[in-house]
Chains A and B, each alone.
Chain A
Amino acid sequence: MRLLNGTSARLSIQLICLLAAAWLVSPPAALAAGVMVTTPQVRAELVAHAPEGVAAGKPLMLGLKIEHQPKWHTYWKNPGDSGLPTTLDWTLPAGFAAGAIEWPTPQRLPLGPLMNYGFEGTLLLPVRLTVPADFAGDALRVSLRAEWLVCKDVCIPESGEFVMDVPARAASALNGALFAAAEAARPREAPDARAEARIENGALALRVAGLPAAWAGRQLAFLPEDGGVIANAATPAVQWQGAQWSARLPLDEQRSASPERMTAVLTTPGEPAGLRVSFAVQGPWPTVAPLPALAAVQPAPASTTPPMGLALALLLALAGGALLNLMPCVFPVLSLKVLGFARHAHDRRAVFAGGLAYTLGVVLSFVALAALMLALRASGEQLGWGFQLQSPAFVAALAALFTLIGLNLAGLFEVGSVLPASWASARARHPLADSALTGVLAVAVASPCTAPFMGASLGLAVTLPTAQALAIFGALGLGMALPYLAASAWPQLARALPRPGPWLATFRSLMAFPMFATVVWLIWVVGQQVGIDGAAALLATLVALAFVAWALGNPSLGLRARTGLGTLALLVLGASLVWALPSLRSDAQAAPTVGSASGSTSSSADARWQPWSAARVAEATAAGRPVFVDFTAAWCVTCQFNKRTVLADARVLADFDARRVLLLRADWTRRDADISAELSRLGRSGVPVYALYAPAGGSTSGAASAAPRILAEILGVDEVRAALAALP
């Protein structure tokens, strides 16, 4: 055998070395598709977990393991404001089915004013496979085409083709720890959690109860699985109450979905796995088409009084309640209480007890009224504070009540003679109940007079949880009763009142007149609501009522006279009610609004005012005109006061004309869902509200036109003129 000669041997060896070197340095990707794909940003690998091999009924999991380079990330099933989720496209033999990706708990990835949801570091996206019963092969061939978007500051869409053979009768458990970790990082279902959500003022109001005790009080993040609904980058207002978490999640202004049910993952720092909660979404989604209101969906427009803490709100509610005593709504009832003091001036304990009973009556009535309003709002009614006075029947009933009280004070009849003897003695025996009921009466008529300080308090109160809102209304009641409680507690004042004598009867009759004045006002309100015919019908009913009261209650009439006249009076009352009731129904033809009703006062100021609509505000501001909106109601005394003083002042009107301000009046005398919605959007729940909208256009930031400037509830000429001067 001849050996290779030297040269050819050298060449052969060199050739073999060259080939070996070439094989060693060629990148793995140049080979046929395998289990790994490497790019400059990630290393992606197809992995399997089959601890008992591949057989029907045995656990079999596949997954894509992605190891990201530092600062690079891929996205979750809801990528957030931008990005795309990783997709896995499996090719499996017949009979095999791959489940959906069992995503681990994602992270929030903020980027400037945007928010994404995704993963950094090492990620495993596992998928569960079902093996058909008739599988009998030696190995399972799996092919995968995966696509992912990997971003740092730039984004690179990448993809990989993977192939793997999983042996059927051997265990593939090398990646067991990896799959276990992915399972531990999966969002857990919270079995005791109950979540409910409602659309409220452009945000999703979410409440989750029954969270694990270890999570109470911690900072939670809300990651929705449904995209395009909430504003991902906005910080929600959150609150813990025991084990219940509530959040106000602002909606995306360019929302592209309105789902009936949503699912989300709640995460907290320090817990690898989040909690998965699912909830129905209640309440109509705001339409993406033309909305009646302008501007930002953010909770509080920047130019209004910033929402205050609870303690401050309570304090202001207290002050506002005390001020209510000065309102003409309450003053007549004030006179009743003063009479009470005069009667019992020497019995200090009785007076103080009466004061306490009155306070209790007032506070409980406020709380009950507030609870009623909140309950109705919760059921979807567009209500605001003062809602009870929007019903003409209620106003008429109040007018009747006050007429009777006035006539009683004037001496036309005695209550003791009208009511059965047992009732009268019950009243005398239970002066405390009497005082408490007086408190209730005072509240019934005082509530619509929103004094200064009350507006912001109430606006805040209706957004708070029920207990806090009721506390604020309770504070209001306490403030209102405080003067009497104080007076009843200090004997000096009681002693200062003169002892009962003939002057008392004169005083009592005198107090009838404020009562009658209030009746006049209430009849005017009814007239605004249902027209002059309805008001006349009410007047007739009041006359009939007076007749009944006199016939039945006048102590100077004999029994026979009383029976005869009483029957006649009741018949007359019945007839007048038959006439009056239909015209007092809430859906009766309302009087023409502000324009012609106030035309009768022939004030030149009223001709300038036009009926409000949100579209008109938008049009005017877009056209460069400022807009001044007066949210008013006939039954709101402060509103009427401002209307006849500041808003009729020649200097203010001249300023309005000079700046071409469009004057709009939003009349809330009757129920109006659009006005109620606009009031709550402005952070108020009652009238008056005075809003000055600056004209849009010219400036680069569109926000300037959006949030109106809200003026004080009792207007001042200088304040209005200064606000107009500050317009661009």
Chain B
Amino acid sequence: MKHALLTAALFTSLALASASALANATVGQPAPAFSAVDTSGKTVSLADFKGRHVVLEWVNPGCPFVRKHYDSANMQATQKGATDKGVVWLAINTTATDAGDYLKPAAMAEWMSKQRAAASATLMDSDGKVGRAYGARTTPHMYVINAKGTLVYAGAIDSKASANPADIPSSTNHINVALAESLAGKPVSVASTRPYGCSVKYSSM
């Protein structure tokens, strides 16, 4: 009986644990729907962009890996290349309000414009809902959703995991490749890579 209770307890705790864990987003499945407020106070939903490709970029200006891609203008170039093709680019900041590197929406908007970012909108997700739905672990962590609403890529922005901007020219930009393939109607060849960067600072629930 004790063993049975233990098993039951384990299963229950597993069920509970999984409730607070991350992610229901799986590559090849419909991307989870979400809604968040951007830095100018407008509500933006994934459903607003039905029929268009969407790229999600998890960003945190306090992270050296994010700065690696912004200081070298690599991220901005990737953003512009995508938005020029009609792709929607959403930059999402899932940093809890009590984290050391939290930026208020106005400060976040100012940083993005100083960096000359070409994102369509910058969303503030300080309660972590969107991050948890997608299982975002690092900054940067990238997702590509195709026009049918299916998640076709999840993972790192490029192939060299480092904080050194000098590694960028010699690494493969996974987003450029995934978008080129998906916009041409082809299946994405590299659909899932291991993301690298700083941890996303989730709020403790």
Residues of chain A at the chain B interface (Cβ within 8 Å): 81-84, 111-114, 116, 149, 151, 153-157, 227-228, 231, 233-235, 237-239, 250, 253-257, 287-291, 294-300, 302, 306-312, 618, 622, 696-703, 706
Q: Which of B22, B34, B164 contacts A113 (CB 8 A)?
A: B22
Contact A154 B24 (CB under 8 A): no
Roughly how many angstroms separate A155 CA and B100 CA in the complex, as a whole number? 11
**Bound Cα distance A307, B164 (Å):** 49
Interface check B20, CB cutoff 8 A: yes
Is the Cβ of A153 less than 8 Å from the Cβ of B99? Answer: yes
CB of B62 within 8 A of chain A? yes
Q: Which residues of B contact A239 (CB under 8 A)?
A: 7
Tell me whether A253 and B198 are in contact in the complex, defined as CB-CB below 8 angstroms, given that A81-B137, A696-B30 are known contacts.
no
Residues of B within 8 A of A294 (CB): 29
Q: Which residues of A contact B15 (CB under 8 A)?
A: 298, 300, 302, 306
Q: Are B155 and A254 in contact (CB under 8 A)?
A: yes
> Taking A82-B198, A113-B202 as contacts, is the C-beta distance between A299 and B137 under 8 angstroms?
no
Measured between beta carbons, the chain B residues less than 8 angstroms from A308 are: 8
Contact residues of A: prevailing secondary structure: loop
User: Do B192 and A288 have beta carbons less than 8 Å apart?
Assistant: yes
Asked if B198 and A151 make an inter-chain contact with CB atoms under 8 angstroms apart, the answer reads yes
Chain B stretch 170-205: residues in CB contact (< 8 A) with chain A:
187, 191-204
Q: Please determine whether A84 and B132 come into contact, CB atoms closer than 8 angstroms.
A: no
Given A113-B132, A149-B163, A306-B12, residue A291 in contact with residue B26 (CB < 8 A)? yes
Partner of A291 from B29, B64, B65, B138 at Cβ < 8 Å = B29
Complex Cα spacing A253 to B18, Å:
13
Contact yes or no, A618 B30, CB < 8 A? yes
Known: A153-B99, A700-B129, A702-B24. A253 touches B135 (CB 8 A): yes
> How far, in whole Å, are A221 and B41 apart by their CA atoms in the complex?
44
| B197 x A82 contact (CB < 8 A) | yes
The interface residues of chain A lying within 8 Å CB-to-CB of B5 are 309
Query: Which residues of B84-143 have CB atoms within 8 Å of chain A's CB atoms?
Result: 99-101, 129-130, 132-133, 135, 137-138
Name the residue in B20, B21, B164 with the highest tally of chain A Cβ atoms < 10 Å from its Cβ.
Answer: B21
Docked Cα-Cα span, A255 to B155, in Å, equals 9
Bound Cα distance A113, B35 (Å)? 21
Please give me the residue from chain A that is nearest to B131 by CB atom: A113
| Given contacts A254-B27, A256-B192, A700-B34, A237 and B14 within 8 Å (CB-CB) | yes
Q: How large is the interface on B (under 10, 10 to 19, 20 to 34, 35 or more residues)?
A: 35 or more
Q: How far is the CB of A639 from chain B (nearest CB, A)?
A: 28
Is the CB–CB distance between A155 and B64 below 8 Å? yes
Residue in B1, B191, B198 whose CB lies within 8 Å of A289 = B191
- List, in ascending order, chain A residues with CB within 8 A of B20's CB: 113
10 tightest CB-CB pairs across the interface, nearest first?
A702-B32, A309-B4, A157-B163, A309-B8, A112-B202, A228-B194, A311-B4, A310-B4, A82-B199, A155-B198
B138 near A81: Cβ-Cβ < 8 Å: yes
The residue from A155, A254, A289 contacting B25, defined by CB atoms under 8 A apart: A254
Q: Does B23 contact A (CB under 8 A)?
A: yes
CA distance A82 to B139 in the complex (A): 9
Q: Are A306 and B161 in contact (CB under 8 A)?
A: no
Q: B1-59: which residues lie under 8 A (CB-CB) from chain A?
A: 1, 3-5, 7-8, 10-15, 17-35, 47
How far, in Å, is B97 (CB) from chain A's closest CB? 13
* Chain B residue, CB-CB nearest to A298: B18
Choose from A84, A312, A703 the contact partner of B24 (Cβ within 8 Å).
Answer: A703
Q: Is B72 located at the chain interface by the 8 A CB criterion?
A: no
State which of A155, A156, A288 has its C-beta within 8 Å of the C-beta of B27.
Answer: A288
Q: Which residues of A contact B145 (CB under 8 A)?
A: none
Give Cα distance in the complex from A112 to B154, angstroms. 21
Chain A contacts for B161, CB-based, 8 A: 84
Bound together, the chains give a CA A294 to CA B32 distance in angstroms of 12
Whether a CB of chain A sits under 8 angstroms from the CB of B63 is yes
Q: Is the CB of B33 within 8 A of A699?
A: yes
Check A154–B62 contact: CB distance below 8 A.
yes
Asked if A299 and B4 make an inter-chain contact with CB atoms under 8 angstroms apart, the answer reads: no
Decide yes or no: A112 and B201 within 8 Å by CB, A235-B17, A254-B27, A700-B33 being known contacts: yes
Can you give 21 A-B contacts (C-beta < 8 A)? Answer: A81-B199, A112-B201, A113-B20, A113-B22, A114-B22, A114-B137, A151-B199, A153-B100, A255-B192, A256-B155, A289-B187, A291-B29, A298-B21, A299-B14, A300-B11, A306-B11, A306-B15, A307-B11, A310-B4, A312-B8, A702-B33
Residue of chain B at shortest CB distance from A707: B24
CA of A238 to CA of B10 in the docked complex: distance in angstroms?
A: 8
